[in-house]
Amino acid sequence: MAKNYYKTIQGVRYDRALLEVAEDRIHGQGDGRISKKDAEEIVELSKDGGRITETELRTLKYISENYHFTSKAAAWFAGKLPDIVQAVDPDQFDQAQPLTQQLPELDQASSPLPEQDLSTVKTPQSEEFTPVEEPIVRIPHLIWGVLLFVAILVGVVLYQGAIKEIETLELKLSAVPSIQELEQQVSDLQSERSALQTIVSEL
């Protein structure tokens, strides 16, 4: 059975290949957004023989409304819109024109929005991911700071312990008689021994 080149969503026909490419791109990205490079590839894919059909233009509009773009991709898509319109098949241009005028609108319920640049509308979505980077960068600095503080604290404790050990050894050494005192004591004992021998010999 031949593959259906179109996909019907809520009664509207879209280009299946473009939708599948957009789906692959968001699954291939870490943040689930379509980059500028992805947007360029999707637009190039829509040009069959240098022309864009009404269905392909409608599909590009659907992708812009239902998929998240990075701020650069949204700005590029908005600037590329006039070229996309020029590439529409002239036989279908009149039918496609009302769709191209609604491309910058992002309300999926088709409610009217004031005219504004597509990149301005998409920017809040891209900013959701920006603050996440700062805490990740600061965590290693915090860890190093804690380790440095612990190392300094351990060094102070060891230093104080070493000082106490030195003081204890000095006290013990001060209690031990010096060599001169020991020699004097030995000399006194020898004198006393000689005196005792003299007394014994006289007896």
Region 38-54: what's the mean pLDDT?
81
96 domain residue, yes or no: yes
Higher pLDDT, 2 or 26: 26
Per-residue confidence (pLDDT) for residue 148, from 0 to 100 = 92
Same domain? 148 vs 58: no
Least confident window among 2-6, 115-119, 147-151: 115-119
Same domain? 138 vs 178: yes
1 domain residue, yes or no: no
Per-residue confidence (pLDDT) for residue 102, from 0 to 100 = 44
Q: Counting runs of H as helices and runs of E as strands, what totals does the chain give?
A: 8, 2
Give the pLDDT confidence of 58-67 residue by residue, as tens digits.
Answer: 888 888 888 8
Give the pLDDT confidence of 160-193 residue by residue, as tens digits.
Answer: 989 988 988 888 887 777 788 888 888 899 989 8
Per-residue confidence (pLDDT) for residue 163, from 0 to 100 = 92
Give the number of C-alpha atoms closer than 13 A to the C-alpha of residue 192, restricted to the C-beta side.
6
Give the pLDDT confidence of 79-124 residue by residue, as tens digits.
Answer: 887 777 777 766 654 444 444 444 444 344 444 444 545 444 454 4
Same domain? 95 vs 119: yes
Write down the mean pLDDT value for the chain.
Answer: 76
Range of the domain at 164: 134-202
Per-residue confidence (pLDDT) for residue 147, from 0 to 100 = 92
- C-alpha 106/C-alpha 15 separation (Å) is 19
- C-alpha 19/C-alpha 110 separation (Å) is 20
How many domains, in total, are found in the chain? Answer: 2
Same domain? 113 vs 33: yes
Task: Indicate the residue among 130, 154, 180 that finishes a domain.
Answer: 130
For the chain, the C-alpha Rg in angstroms (whole number) is 45
